[in-house]
Structure 1
Amino acid sequence: MRLKRLTAWCVALCLSAGLCACTLTGRRTLVLGIYAGSPWLVHESAAYQQIDEAIARFEAAHPTVDVVYESGIRMNDYRQWLNDSVVMGTVPDVFMVPDDLFGQYASLGVLKNLDPYLRQDDDCAEADFFPAAAQSGKYLYSQYALPFMMNPRLMFVNVTLLKEAGLQVPESGWTPEEFVALCQGLTKDRNQDGTADQYGVVDYGWLDLAEAYGLDLFSDDGRDVKLADSDVRRVTELYRSLMAFTGNEAERDMLMEAGRVAFAPMSYAEFVTYNPWPWKVKKYTGFEWICVNLPQVPDRKIRFTGDSIVMAMSATTRQEELAWDLMKEFCSGWQTQTQILENSQGMCALQTGARHLDSFLESSGVSGDTIRSIMNQEGTRVRFARYESAREQLASQMEKVAASQEDLDLALVETEDSIRSYLRS
């Protein structure tokens, strides 16, 4: 295979030269913006193999087109690399967009609106993707990116601790109230020194509980927030109770490895990496554990709360049709998406047959039904320019409210005013 990885100055030359220079030789160049390794801070064994294979399939179908990318950009540096390209006017034709940059880029006009392409293309439709995946590429109500790879959130369950306590392992459909009750029963002072040393849960925050209730806190335009609500009050009261059964977040890994915590949110990427199957990376091996759905209130529209990597088209690209075809190869190409499922630490964005997904996950410690139920969540996630940062601000302030003894109604009013001011600043 012809080398696709270029040095930074070669990529910049392709970007600045544009289409006209490329057509002098009868060939055209598409510049792809990608990162190296896993975006979710777990071991990734095939950083470029899947990318190169997808490029090879695209180039075989487009013999006069070369796809190039700069290699070696780690995820921690990729955000700055993208920001620099926006400032310098050298945005790649097609590029991967992390969650925390998506709303900002869409609002600034960096991304091309893909609605016209989806309407006109019989080979690619929103319905081809899992609903949660399709939502990850929406800004307000339009599609500004196609989903490439997903990272659902699961709940790690220490089965051994539950069996020792004579408690039933939770299944799909367990409620937040049932979750809190289990955490209470599993929090113990095992060495009798007056301090708990086994906990019900670790790393589960106020925002997790709010999502379990399907709360829609922000207005669609991103200028308002609603906290003066009975469900918000209920969530905060329940979370105050849960805090007594929660381990120190800074000790998450230690508590999990020592088998001294019953529950912990765990990303799909972490699950497939540290589960003995299929990656054989030894961790959490001294006890029996599985992953299940996060608890949630029944009959509510629950939003997908995991992470995603989406692929977007530059608003300034001169090669829209080619860029669209390249995006389709990555995001709706069956071979590429199947490889993501089978050979990476991410979950594919494209709908896969139940038999194929079940076969891959067989004996893995999580069921295909669990993954499908998460990926089929249809609660709308209407993202605006400051969506991610607003969620972080809200989570931080509500954690403080829950931890304080301040009058709850007054605290909610003050927090609502504070977040609203942030949104409108």
Structure 2
Amino acid sequence: MSRKKIVCILVVLGCLLCVVWRPQRITLKVGIFAGSNWDVPNGDCYKIIDQAIERYEEENPDIHIEYESGILKDDYSEWLSAQYLKGEEPDIFMVLSEDFNTLSALGALKNLDDFMQKDSQFHSDDYYENALLAGQYQHHQYALPYESNPTLMFVNQTLLQKENIDLPSNDWTLDDFYNICQQVTKDTNNDGQIDQYGCYNYDWLDSVYSHEVSLFDETGQTCYLNQEPVKNAIAFIQRLNQLNKGYTVTSQDFDTGKVAFSPMPFAQYRTYKPYPYRVQKYSQFEWDCVPMPGMTESRSEVSSLLMGISARTSYGQQAWDFLKLLTNDQETQESLFRYSQGISSLKTVIQSTEALSLLNEESLGDTQVDLSLLNDVMENAMNQNQFRKYNATLTMMDTQIQQMIQNNEDLDLSLMSLQNEVNEYLRE
């Protein structure tokens, strides 16, 4: 056999081997929904995901990532459940806060502890502690925070200026909050009816956060309603309501500028502070946001949109690598400030000059809200307990505590009775 034929045979064999041993291209499915998790307008809902996919596929040419577009947030939980029932759930997917405990308890989410411990490039302390805790269930990490949304306090500057009251400082307290509410609540046209109010939509749970109270033990087996700080928190709401002499402040009162304060998620602040949305929403008065008041320092709720991995995925490592790119990558997380309304859960992003630059581009104007304030709010956030019955328990408690507040019930007896009822439900 000639040398030329041998070479040709070897080339052909080499080509055949390449075809036979060529790695099969992997397809990772991602579960996301259209629009904003924070119920505000968002025309770039796929931009961050698309950019991350492009980067990931460029670095991993043997992996293709796809997602189904057009799923609305209101339909997302039902869609995800249907995918699980068919065994066709995404490998990586967004996890709504109201679904997290159930999905974790049912074993639908992959435990991320091993990935986190073995990955030398991943560091848990990159995240704000309470944002990371939002993805923990029974001391195990089942999801990572993709986007966070802290609660601030809306301040009607025009109303305060009319009453010769200074804008609250970032370290204001519950006493400051009550005193200002007391000053501004009045009958301004002398018709015998109160028509200007201190606050709207500040509820008992906001007060519980401000009083730095934990409602449950770590296991979710016991609630602590019948304790003095909880009584103080609810009594504070009763005192605020008494200022209005039986009138229930409405959203119309708030929107027309008759109310001094209201809790506001930061995503709403970013949406409605700049033009053009501010013209549609709050153009009749000047306004700003400050931290929520606290006993000694600001304490508020931070909501987080989580992302996790299916427990049944066949591509655990690949899914983990893409999950990291979405939730733990500086570039991806900084893009939240450009294409979304929430903020990153990474400390380095909140403290970065790039994030500051992107916020300034939004034309927020003369405002007290800056990255230093956001950093403090994220550092001091109150963490929600994660257990399967949390959401149902909170609904039960909310209904009865609202009745206590409206009826001015004796809190000692009412809270003791409710605590016994809740504990019985938790231990069923």
TM-score normalised by L of structure 1: 0.89
Deviation at 1:277, TM superposition (A): 5.5
Give the Å deviation of 1:61. Answer: 1.1
Alignment partner of 1:317 is 2:320: no
The CA deviation string for residues 143-197 of structure 1, in whole angstroms up to 9 with x for no partner, is: 1111101111111001111111121211122122221121111112223222222
Q: Match for residue 369 of structure 1?
A: 372
1:162 maps to a residue whose letter is L
Contact 2:171–2:297 (Cα < 8 Å) also in 1: no
Over residues 329-371 of structure 1, what are the superposed CA-to-partner deviations in whole Å (9 max), with x where a residue is unaligned? 1111222111112221111122213433433334623222221
Q: For residue 224 of structure 2, what is the aligned residue in structure 1? A: 226
1:307 aligned partner: 303
Q: Say yes or no: does 1:420 pair with 2:418.
A: no
1:150/1:347 contact within 8 Å kept? yes
CA contact (8 A) 2:334 2:354 kept: no
Superposed displacement of residue 279, structure 1: 6.5
Matched with 2:67 is 69
- 1:80 is aligned to 2:78: yes
Cross-structure match for 1:276? 274
Partner of 2:153: 155
Deviation at 1:206, TM superposition (A): 0.6
Question: What is the aligned partner in structure 2 of residue 35 from structure 1?
Answer: 33
Match of 1:344 in 2: 340
- Among all aligned residue pairs of Structure 1 and Structure 2, give the percentage whose two residues are the same amino acid: 35
1:116-148 superposed Cα distances (whole Å, 9 cap, x missing partner): 111111222211122232122111322111110
Q: Is the partner of 1:154 in helix, strand or coil?
A: strand
Matches within 5 A, 1:249-268: 251-252=250-251, 254-268=252-266
Q: Could you say which residue in structure 1 is the equivalent of 2:46?
A: 48
SS in 2 for 1:153: strand
**Could you list the per-position Cα deviations for residues 11-60 of structure 1 after superposition, in whole angstroms to 9, with x for gaps in the alignment?**
xxxxxxxxxxxx99821110101001111211001121221111111111
For residues 280 and 288 of structure 1, the distance between their equivalents in structure 2, rounded to whole angstroms, comes to: 10
Match of 2:180 among 168, 179, 182: 182
Amino acid at match of 1:215: V
Residue pair 1:145, 1:310 contacting (<8 A) in 2 also: yes
Deviation at 1:85, TM superposition (A): 2.0
Q: Which residue of 1 aligns with 2:395?
A: 392
d(CA) in 2 for partners of 1:330 and 1:60?
Answer: 15
* Other-structure match for 1:212: 210
The equivalent of 1:328 in structure 2 is 324
Matched letter for residue 386 of structure 1: K
Structure 1, 64-73 or 85-94: larger mean CA deviation: 85-94
Q: Secondary structure at the match of 1:420?
A: helix
The alpha carbon displacement at 1:280 in A equals 6.3
The number of residue pairs the alignment matches comes to 399
> Is contact 1:275–1:281 with CA below 8 Å preserved after alignment?
no
Is the contact between residue 302 and residue 381 of structure 2 (CA under 8 Å) also seen in structure 1?
A: no
CA contact (8 A) 1:256 1:284 kept: no
SS at match of 1:152: strand
CA distance in 2 between counterparts of 1:357 and 1:171 reads 23
Question: Which sections of structure 1, spanning at least 5 residues, go unmatched?
Answer: 1-22
State the distance in 1 between where 2:392 and 2:149 align: 19
CA deviation after TM superposition for structure 1 residue 242, in Å: 0.7
- Inter-partner Cα distance in structure 2 for 1:299 and 1:267: 18
- Structure 2 residue ranges without an equivalent (≥5): 1-20
Q: Kindly provide the amino acid, as one letter, of the partner of residue 377 in structure 1.
A: N
Deviation of 1:421 after TM superposition, in Å, equals 2.6
Contact 1:276-1:282 within 8 A present in 2 as well: no
Task: Name 1:7's counterpart in structure 2.
Answer: none
* TM-aligned CA deviation for residue 108 of structure 1: 0.9
Question: Which one-letter code corresponds to 2:90 in the other structure?
Answer: P
Distance 1:128 1:279 in 2: 33
Confirm or deny: 8 A CA contact 1:272 1:279 kept in the other structure.
no
- Following superposition, the deviation at residue 372 of structure 1 comes to 0.9
Q: Which amino acid counterpart does residue 345 of structure 2 have in structure 1?
A: A
Deviates more, 1:313-322 or 1:167-176: 167-176
**RMSD of Structure 2 on Structure 1 (CA):** 2.1
Cα pair distance change 1:75/1:380, threshold 3 Å: closer
Partners of 1:25 and 1:278 in 2: CA distance? 51
Answer whether contact 1:172 1:293 (CA < 8 A) is retained.
yes
Residue 422 of structure 1 and its aligned partner are, at CA, apart by 2.6
Residue pair 1:173, 1:295 contacting (<8 A) in 2 also: yes
1:176-222 per-position Cα deviation (integer Å, ceiling 9, x unaligned): 22211211111122232222221110011011101101101111111
* Amino acid of the structure 1 residue aligned with 2:359: L
Instruction: Give 1:380 shift.
Output: 4.4
For residue 263 of structure 2, give the secondary structure of its aligned residue in structure 1. Answer: strand
Q: Deviations over 1:241-266 (max 9, x none)?
A: 111346746x32x2233111100111
Q: Which residue of 2 aligns with 1:19?
A: none
Q: Relative to structure 2, which stretch is displaced further, 72-81 or 340-349?
A: 340-349
| 1:394 partner amino acid | M
Change (3 A) 1:369 1:164: same
User: Structure 1 residues 179, 280: CA separation in 2 closer, same or farther (over 3 Å shift)?
Assistant: closer
Distance in 2, matches of 1:341 and 1:124, equals: 22
